[in-house]
Amino acid sequence: MPSPTVALRDATTPLTADEAAAVLALAADAAADDGSQPLSEQFRLSVQARDDSGVQHLLATGTDGSLAGYAQSRAAADGAVSAELVVAPGARRRGVGTALLERLPDGIRLWSHASGAAADVATAFAAANGLEPVRSLHVMGRSLRSGPSWPAPTLPPAYAVRSFEPGRDEDAWLALNAAAFASHPEQGSWTRADLDLRTAEPWWDPAGLILVVDAENPDVLAASHWTKVDPPEGRVGEVYVVAVSPDRQGQGLGRAVTVLGLDHLRSLGLDRVELYVDEDNVAAVRTYTALGFEDVEVHRQFAR
Ligand SMILES: CC(C)(COP(=O)(O)OP(=O)(O)OC[C@H]1O[C@@H](n2cnc3c(N)ncnc32)[C@H](O)[C@@H]1OP(=O)(O)O)[C@@H](O)C(=O)NCCC(=O)NCCS
């Protein structure tokens, strides 16, 4: 089997618009075939924005010149480099995945966001390349129409609730996010550019980014719950990012702001809500379990 040609794109040779479009089309084909998105939101946004700041793109081209596979690597806040990799459904079992993996930096952590049978394929591929699971991300979900009811939100009187206001809250929200996720490898490092990429997405709705603020000074953010409905016409909402300022933790704000978001998603008439949570975030897993969320699937990160 002839090896594919693997080309590197980084700050010196950024992705062209045609290459970015071909990567997104390949990812869409894989999603349709596998029943799960191969690239997470952050990696997809970096392709779309043709982002080259600290990001490396690898393109594998088959003998016919078409795109056979794609990998992206990026440094996480904890210094580790994480990667995502996808091979076109028609080009699998020909060594394309292995060729991409060999060109990724040493010591990378490779994500698999696959579910069902595709997750077994990813695990077999990782094992064949000497990679073992090192971290798990749980996808949890619940019905918004039935199942255990959740409590009404109760907030101490020092707090008020309002929605995010574009032009007013960006810096304060980024500061809250950075403080709340200081030890999180990806979430805590969001910059204004990361925020702007998301507020330019078709699903962005400031009403879905709920803020718990200081009642005396409503520019001071104590907690937030960013809910998301993607695609906007879909039936499933997401608990996208829940953050509580570290100096306000332990007052019940996490549960209250989570519930405010669930109420919001239910008020939109949606059927279901899902979320992603790190397996070792015991406090968050407990909060969500108590609110009636159950495991849907597990995404794994592999490393040597
Ligand atoms: C996982 C994936 C990247 C593999 O790409 P690929 O180009 O088909 O992989 P390779 O041809 O390099 O396979 C290398 C080895 O992995 C194992 N493997 C790959 N696909 C497999 C499958 N369907 N069943 C069992 N083992 C498999 C085999 O040991 C294979 O060697 P072999 O073909 O000589 O038996 C591809 O299936 C894919 O894009 N899946 C969706 C995205 C995804 O899950 N990414 C995360 C990867 S951790």
CATH of domain 142-297: 3.40.630.30
pLDDT tier for residue 52 given thresholds of 50, 70 and 90: confident
Return the pLDDT at 82: 94
Q: Whole-model pTM?
A: 0.89
> Has residue 249 got a pLDDT over 70?
yes
Centre of ligand 1 from the C-alpha of residue 87, in Å: 8
- Which structure tokens are listed for 220? 């001071």
| Range(s) of the chain covered by CATH 3.40.630.30 | 5-130, 142-297
Centre of ligand 1 from the C-alpha of residue 30, in Å: 13
Q: How far apart are CA 231 and CA 227, in angstroms?
A: 13
The sign of the torsion formed by the CA atoms of 21, 65, 58, 55 equals negative
Average pLDDT over residues 149-158: 95
- Tell which one of 59, 72, 93 to mutate to probe ligand 1, the residue whose CB is within 8 A of the most ligand atoms: 93
> Has residue 62 got a pLDDT over 80?
yes
pLDDT exceeding 90 applies to what percent of the chain? Answer: 85
Return the pLDDT at 264: 98
Return the pLDDT at 117: 94
Asked if residue 27 has its Cβ within 6 Å of ligand 1, the reply is no
- The pLDDT tens digits of the residues spanning 206-233 come to 999 999 999 999 999 999 999 999 999 9
pLDDT tier for residue 267 given thresholds of 50, 70 and 90: very high
Q: Whose CA is nearest to atom 36 of ligand 1?
A: 87
> Has residue 191 got a pLDDT over 70?
yes
Lowest mean pLDDT among 3-12, 112-121, 133-142, 162-171: 3-12
Asked if residue 31 has its Cβ within 6 Å of ligand 1, the reply is no
The larger pLDDT score, comparing residue 265 to residue 106, is at: 265
- Provide the angle, in degrees to the nearest 10, between the axes of the packed helices 192-199 and 41-48: 90
Asked if residue 34 has its Cβ within 6 Å of ligand 1, the reply is yes
Average pLDDT over residues 45-62: 90
- The pLDDT tens digits of the residues spanning 89-127 come to 999 999 999 999 999 998 999 999 999 999 999 999 999
Query: Chain centroid to CA 61: how far?
Result: 27
Asked if residue 4 has its Cβ within 6 Å of ligand 1, the reply is no
- Which structure tokens are listed for 179? 């403080």
Q: Which atom of ligand 1 is nearest to the CA of 128?
A: 29
Centre of ligand 1 from the C-alpha of residue 125, in Å: 4
Contact assessment for residue 224 and residue 213, using Cβ atoms and an 8 Å cutoff: no
Return the pLDDT at 1: 61
Return the pLDDT at 147: 95
Q: Which atom of ligand 1 is nearest to the CA of 93?
A: 11
Return the pLDDT at 253: 94
Q: How far apart are CA 57 and CA 47, in angstroms?
A: 8
The larger pLDDT score, comparing residue 198 to residue 54, is at: 198
Q: Which atom of ligand 1 is nearest to the CA of 38?
A: 42
- The pLDDT tens digits of the residues spanning 270-298 come to 999 999 999 988 988 998 999 999 999 99
- Residue 35 DSSP code: S
Q: How far apart are CA 35 and CA 11, in angstroms?
A: 33
Q: How far apart are CA 46 and CA 24, in angstroms?
A: 11
CATH superfamily of 5-130: Gcn5-related N-acetyltransferase (GNAT) (3.40.630.30)
Average pLDDT, the chain: 94
- Which structure tokens are listed for 188? 């805590």
Contact assessment for residue 47 and residue 197, using Cβ atoms and an 8 Å cutoff: no
Asked if residue 272 has its Cβ within 6 Å of ligand 1, the reply is no
Average pLDDT over residues 177-194: 90
